[in-house]
Amino acid sequence: MPTHEIHEEKQVIINWLRRLGMEFQTGFIVLNPEVKDHPIIYANQSFLEMSGYEEEEVLGQNGRFMHGLKTDKQVGQEIRKCMESKKAGIFEIVNYRKDGLPFWNEITIQPIVMHETGFTFTIMLQRDISDRKRAEALINLQQQIYNDIGKGYLLSFLLQKACDTVESFFKDDTKCTVLFVNDAGYFQVGAGKSMPSEFHEKVEKIQSSPLTGTCGAAFHTNKTVIVEDMKVSPLWNGLQYLVEEHHLTSSWSVPINDADGRAIGTFGIYFADKALPTEEDIAFMEQVGSIVSLTVRYSQQQEEILRLAYTDKETALPNRNYFINELKELLDEKKEGFVAFVSADEYIKVVDQYGHTAGDALIREIGKRFLRAGMSANNVIARFSDSTIALVNLNPLGDVPAYLEKLSQCVIEPISVQDMELFLTLKMGVALITPKQQDEKELIRYADSALSKAKLRAENPSVILKMSTMIS
């Protein structure tokens, strides 16, 4: 006998449950806990409309038939334990409709025991709470982004959170992107890890216009744009290679605006199947677009604050605070290397004759030469004090002499300051990073001490300190 067929003695009770189910406006199903796997023996019309299934597709099934990739397995197990214990409970879980669209389902479990007959049933009231969950997700997204901006996370990381949030409410193959438009009019990818890198590479070669895809139209009109079929839309006439290669069918896009309301980019959603948004979908997208717009503005403000906090305003080089923070992070890698303090003998003469502005120009030019020489590829360069440039490099200790020689070569050509051309004499103090020496404060102290010793030397311009011993 099929599991959904029940004994005639229970039919009267089932008919009563059916009449009860018809009165509910929310989804209502009845399961038989006396049969293995608790099959569904009744589903009301509201449940069928909510799930998209026909009655014959539901009867005999276990509730797990609506589970999918985004369903929390732990919650599913808790629901099963609740049913087996014949206790009441309320749970929130992601289920899937027949068309593959996930939705948040609030399930209320209520066991029914007929004491006269000993029959037991489990009633499940099911209510779509996706709108509430979307509202909660937007609040959580704002809070997470606000906290992460304060922690200094990259803008791309923040924008990816918005993509992840939106994708969680649509089909599993839905993909989101954040695109900006640069000063030359070309798209630049801000986020969208679910899209293949090949897609991003090709998009960044496209110059935006009102007819370059859904996002181009949204950017130039500063309005929400919906394309149901990208294969026939005039917006995608010249971009069919993207549509075909990445199996895209529908796309929606909302603009990202600056503080003055001008479009600076777009938030886009791409679907493998035809999809038209509901009014709730459009409202959700536009709210996410607003959050992304605020995220960009707040992140840029925070970046400016950090830039000012970690940049020497006179030379535009990273400053002492930046150097110390970066040194701490590099030391976490537990590699060999060194910290170097570099100073030019001529700095004091320049300052005495032309003032601090000229001295700043001298340090700025030395820093630029170090950068142009590729000295920053594996290390950090910063202005540590008025006359001192600090460097940290993580390379084998055997490479130290060659590195110092490369530094010296950077100032073979004279530097022009005011009406003078200066041939500089660099003095260097170096502290070695070894397995026994990984403390940033001690390394800085040794490098500073080594520089003081180097300044006293007329011939050898470099002093290297390992721990507390000078090794020249």
Per residue in 302-350, pLDDT (tens digit) is 777 777 788 888 998 999 998 998 899 888 888 888 999 999 988 988 8
**pLDDT value at residue 423:** 87
Task: Using pLDDT thresholds of 50, 70 and 90, give the confidence band for residue 374.
Answer: low
Given its phi and psi angles, is residue 38 left (phi above 0), alpha (psi -120 to 50 degrees) or beta? left
Question: Could you report the per-residue pLDDT of 54-113, keeping only the tens digit for each?
Answer: 999 999 999 899 999 999 999 999 999 998 888 999 999 999 999 999 999 999 998 987
Q: Is the dihedral of CA 5, 11, 15, 16 positive or negative?
A: negative
- Per cent of the chain over pLDDT 70 is 89
Per-residue pLDDT for 4 more than 60?
A: no
Per-residue pLDDT for 468 more than 70?
A: no
**pLDDT value at residue 10:** 57
**pLDDT value at residue 3:** 42
Task: Using pLDDT thresholds of 50, 70 and 90, give the confidence band for residue 8.
Answer: low
For the segment 233-253, the average pLDDT, to the nearest whole number, is 96
Q: Is 79 helix (H, G, I), strand (E, B) or coil?
A: helix
Per-residue pLDDT for 6 more than 50?
A: no
- C-alpha pair distances (Å), 366 with each of 37, 341, 352: 76, 13, 19
Distance CA 41, CA 121 (A): 10
Distance CA 29, CA 210 (A): 50
